[in-house]
Chain A
Amino acid sequence: MPTPGNTSGHPVRQFRSGIVWTLLTVYGILTLYPFYWLVISAFKTNEDFYSRPFGLPEKWNVENFSNAWESSKLGTAFGNSLIVSVGSLIITLFIAALASFILARFQFRWKGLIMTFFVVGMLIPIHSTLVPLFILMKQMSLLNTYWALILPYTAFALPTAIFVLTAYLTSIPRDIEEAAFIDGTGLWGLFTRIMLPMSVPALSTVTILSFLHAWNDFSFALVFINKTGLKTLPLAIANFADGYQTDYGLTLAAMTLSVIPTIILYLVFQEQVMKGMTAGAVKG
């Protein structure tokens, strides 16, 4: 395999690995370019945007960001996204962990059926539930409330969460719960004081997956929320872009602000994010 550390030796091989790494670097730049372009353009005026599409801004218009923050009500949108994401995350973690604990550590009659029930759900495309969910929410008077997002985000996070957690909990040795029972710990104590702390690695995978999914979701928010004050970040950004179509710097500044939290999260927790996503994807 050509690697940069491995370029010594045969000149033909050296030449070949040189080509591979040049191509890779070009690919890397192409992948990152849209991000770079987004950020530098966010500082530009409209004229600058036309006249120097690839260049740096003539003048760095920092006020684009404050204007965008104000006029797109980004603060409210951030708050809403945080409420629905964290809300559904907490519910998901708790009820998925409890269900997984039971599915992983107990034998009972309906176990196989319940597992199948969750698997089948993983195959259902989210969007095919939009119409009936909309009608259901309307009848339950949930439209335009935080619950209209928290509950479906939770429901759709459950299958993956239960799969990741059940697999993990099954691998914990039996001796541990026998020891706990001898010490007089009840079922509830076994769950909260022993199993939960022990599943932290699996729980963090589930946390990343569920949070990113809820934070980035567009379609549920689009259908279930139309009150301005309740709009989540992706919805607010999409609407803002429709309204300020011709103010490019401003729209791009709003977009840049909206991606900062997930990019920071990614840079800090990179390894976990990648692992979490693949675990979720492969299981899902």
Chain B
Amino acid sequence: MNALRSRRFIMLGLAPAVLIYALFVFVPVVWSAYYGFFNWSGIGESKYIGLDNYVEIWHDSVFWRALKNNVIFVLASVFGQIPLALMLAVILHKSNPLQRFLRSAVFLPMVLSTVVIGMIWQYIYHPQIGILNFLLDALGLESWKLQWLSDDKIAIFSLVPPLLWSFVGLYLIIFISALQNIPGEIHDAAKIDGASGIRKLVSISLPMIWGTVQVAIILCISGSLKSFDLVYIMTKGGPAHATELLATYMYNSTFNTYRYGFGSAISTTIVLISLLLIGTSQWATSRKRKEN
């Protein structure tokens, strides 16, 4: 093969992917950092204000509330979805019809748009027509009835079940494929040694898929930081910022209060927080791997 021709082929072949990707992913992130230094309403003049937006973010109670809510989502995902999915995976990793059926059922919400998921749960929680409150009535638990999404103390926690419902299937399938990759001989050897049931699970299966569990934790963290649609559909960040997330706060600042510069500064902060968190977890897991 002619070296010059293959060089041209390499360049021309990579160009479309690199260009589209750079223009619509990379450039916006860099631009966002730049716009963060301006006071701009989206139309008319923009004014350079240095680090003022970032200083404002630092002192902004709504921003910290949003960050706290994001952390609640991260914790709820890591300690809700991962153990639940692990438990289900251990029981459902073989392939009889009932197991296949349950697996499909748990995974089904993954293929829906978050808009539909959010709307279904909005109906479930509705104070007058919601089936949750109807159910509590039917069970004689009237006193447990709540304003699930409009009470600022519980609204953020009401958003956790839909989050679990829609994503647990993903982790279930990830864990099942990890469990299925454990070579059969290892189970046979364990049987000969007399290990069974819980013992086999704790000392063989779990350690063997631990790497996958760590990947799932990273996915949970980055996934929770990306949450936007569900909350936007169900509460729009309200009541009174009680369910505000970093992404909804960014959206509201930019497109509802027309503070493009401030919104951009929040965007940049989100990128930095994500990179920091993912970097930390990568570092932690790779160190763990080295120790093993």
Contact = CB atoms under 8 A, between A and B. Distances in A.
A89 interface: no
Instruction: Give the size range of B's interface with the partner.
Output: 35 or more
- Interface of chain A: mostly helix, strand, loop or mixed: helix
Contact of A124 (B1, B25, B124, B219): B25
Contact of B263 (A98, A106, A131, A241): A131
A277 B223 CA distance: 14
Interface string B38-58: 000000000000000000000
Contacts of A259: 112-113, 116
A64 interface: no
Contact of A216 (B17, B98, B114): B114
Interface in B190-217: 197, 215
A133 to B, nearest CB: 5
B91 A159 contact: no
A161 to B, nearest CB: 9
A274 B173 contact: yes
Contacts of A2: 91
Contacts of B121: 34
A60 interface: no
A27 B85 CA distance: 12
B26 A121 contact: yes
Interface string B16-51: 111011111111110110010000000000000000
Contacts, number: 255
B25 A274 contact: no
Contacts of B24: 129, 133, 136, 151-152, 154-156
A216 B111 CA distance: 8
Interface in B176-198: 177, 197
B275 interface: yes
A263 B115 contact: no
B240 interface: no
A150 to B, nearest CB: 10
Instruction: Give the size range of A's interface with the partner.
Output: 35 or more
B90 A1 contact: yes
A158 B18 CA distance: 9
A65 B219 CA distance: 38
Interface string B162-182: 000100001001100100000
B257 interface: no
Interface string B92-129: 10101011011111111111111110011101100001
Contacts of A179: none
Contacts of A4: 96, 98
Given A31-B165, A128-B32, A158 B6 contact: no
Given A1-B197, A103-B14, A191-B13, 7 more contacts: A117-B18, A123-B275, A127-B251, A131-B254, A151-B20, A155-B21, A262-B112
21 contacts: A1-B91, A2-B91, A4-B98, A37-B131, A95-B20, A108-B10, A125-B247, A128-B271, A129-B28, A130-B251, A132-B27, A132-B28, A133-B24, A135-B31, A216-B111, A218-B115, A218-B233, A237-B119, A255-B120, A263-B112, A281-B219
Interface of A: 1-5, 20-21, 24-25, 27-28, 31-32, 34-35, 37-38, 41, 49-50, 53-54, 91, 95-96, 98-99, 101-103, 106, 108, 114, 117-118, 121, 123-136, 151-152, 154-156, 158-159, 162, 181, 187-188, 191, 212, 215-219, 222-223, 233-235, 237-238, 241, 248, 251-252, 255, 258-259, 262-263, 265-266, 270, 273-275, 277-278, 281-282, 284
